[in-house]
Amino acid sequence: MKLSLRGVGKSYPGRRGETSALFPLDMDVREGEFISLVGPSGCGKSTLLHIVAGLEPATTGTVDLDGERVLGPGAEIGLMFQQQTLFPWLSVRENVRFPLTLAHRRARAGAADRARQEAARVDGLLRLVGLWDFRDSLPAELSGGMQQRAALARALVGQPEVLLMDEPFGALDAQTREDMQELLLHLIQHHRITTLFVTHDVDEALLLSDRVVVFSERPGRVLASLDVTFARQARSSELKLDEAFLHQKREILALLRGRARTEAQRDRLLFGLTNTSPEGGS
Ligand code: ADP
């Protein structure tokens, strides 16, 4: 297993005792797997990402990456968040390069060759995310979508084995969001990076993931872990009309709404559909 979580839980001390944010959970993530985490606001999804990243200690449990305990942040894990996290005083290229300069502080030796390779990698990523012409611009000169493309390039520059993304496209308009989803799919298919992706958007989760993990309200518990059953290559806007897609979307929405309705009832309530087989698919 690439990532192995055992009994990972979190509670925060408060004035009236402990507040449980995340109920202890086990999760195994295969190498190259893309998992979306969906659940109500405040159920502990971001907390879970912070724990896996080594940015925050768990109250209980352990996280192993390739069999080794995660005790703090490291280059093996790339991060991307919804909010703007680029340094406003650095150019796009300097922002993308920034994680590498941090690594250099720790290891100065043998620098010249590596610096050349890294410069080539930074430039390659800038081209890949379509920011080559804006490499010398400041973040404030970019649109929201371009800033997130720069943040994505920065998350990938250290060649992470695991990518943790917390609603990275949540603040973008619909068209830009679709473009970013396409770019991300392209990148992860080529690099097979193991990814945990937090989103509120069930369509987005199904379009991108191998597996969708659904959380309950706080303290978050895993309600279901669903393998996405349709081929990723076929994923596009037309897919949202596909019966298998709709079936899984209904299943996830029903879990999120916490009501056990029959499939036919759900169809009528959520989609106004009348001709779906009550037996359902898989
Ligand atoms: P999500 O990402 O699912 O919206 P979070 O992981 O951000 O949820 O938060 C889970 C719960 O933990 C929330 O109820 C939140 O109020 C609480 N929480 C998060 N961070 C802190 C903190 N530093 N101190 C106290 N409570 C916190």
Pair 41, 180 in one domain: yes
- Please return the burial class of 136, using the count of CB atoms within 10 Å of its CB with bins 0-12, 13-18 and 19+: exposed
CATH number at residue 236: 3.40.50.300
In a domain, 280, yes or no: no
pLDDT score for 274: 43
In a domain, 274, yes or no: no
In a domain, 152, yes or no: yes
Pair 201, 233 in one domain: yes
Nearest ligand 1 atom, CA 50: 6
Pair 62, 96 in one domain: no
In a domain, 282, yes or no: no
Ligand 1 near 11 CB (within 6 A):
no
Per-residue pLDDT averaged across 230-252, rounded? 76
pLDDT score for 278: 40
pLDDT score for 24: 94
In a domain, 281, yes or no: no
Number of domains making up the chain: 2
From atom 14 of ligand 1, which residue's Cα is the shortest distance away? 42
Query: What's the DSSP call for residue 220?
Result: B
Tokens (6 digits) for 30: 């295969």
Question: What are the DSSP calls for 25-82, one per residue?
Answer: EEEEE-TT-EEEEE--TTSSHHHHHHHHHTSS--SEEEEEETTEE--S--TTEEEEES
Cα-Cα-Cα-Cα torsion 71, 75, 78, 79, nearest 10 degrees, comes to 60
Pair 220, 243 in one domain: yes
What confidence category does residue 263 fall into, taking pLDDT thresholds of 50, 70 and 90? Answer: very low
Pair 119, 235 in one domain: no
Nearest ligand 1 atom, CA 49: 6
Pair 143, 212 in one domain: no
Ligand 1 near 160 CB (within 6 A):
no
Average pLDDT, the chain: 85
Ligand 1 near 218 CB (within 6 A):
yes
Residue ranges making up the domain that contains 62: 1-76+160-264
Q: What is the pTM of this model?
A: 0.85
Ligand 1 near 180 CB (within 6 A):
no
User: Is residue 206 predicted with pLDDT exceeding 50?
Assistant: yes
Per-residue pLDDT averaged across 244-264, rounded? 76
Q: Are 197 and 205 in contact (CB under 8 A)?
A: yes
pLDDT score for 37: 97
In a domain, 200, yes or no: yes
In a domain, 277, yes or no: no
Collapsing DSSP states into helix, strand and coil, what is residue 31?
A: coil
Indicate the helix (H) or strand (E) that contains 52: helix 45-53
Per-residue pLDDT averaged across 109-127, rounded? 85
Pair 71, 181 in one domain: yes
Pair 128, 195 in one domain: no
User: Is residue 198 predicted with pLDDT exceeding 90?
Assistant: yes
Per-residue pLDDT averaged across 111-137, rounded? 90
pLDDT score for 117: 87
Pair 98, 71 in one domain: no
Centre of ligand 1 to C-alpha 222, Å, is: 16
Pair 42, 180 in one domain: yes
In a domain, 272, yes or no: no
Higher pLDDT, 55 or 231: 55
Non-local (6+) Cβ contacts of 230 within 8 A are 239, 242, 244, 245
Pair 64, 91 in one domain: no
From atom 12 of ligand 1, which residue's Cα is the shortest distance away? 21
User: Is residue 235 predicted with pLDDT exceeding 70?
Assistant: no
Per-residue pLDDT averaged across 55-82, rounded? 91
Pair 176, 256 in one domain: yes
- Which residue out of 19, 25, 38, 47 has the highest number of ligand 1 atoms within 8 Å of its CB and is therefore the one to mutate? 47
Q: 4-56: per-residue pLDDT in tens?
A: 999 999 999 888 888 889 999 999 999 999 999 999 988 999 999 999 999 99
User: Is residue 231 predicted with pLDDT exceeding 80?
Assistant: no
Q: 163-184: per-residue pLDDT in tens?
A: 999 999 988 888 888 888 888 8
pLDDT score for 277: 39
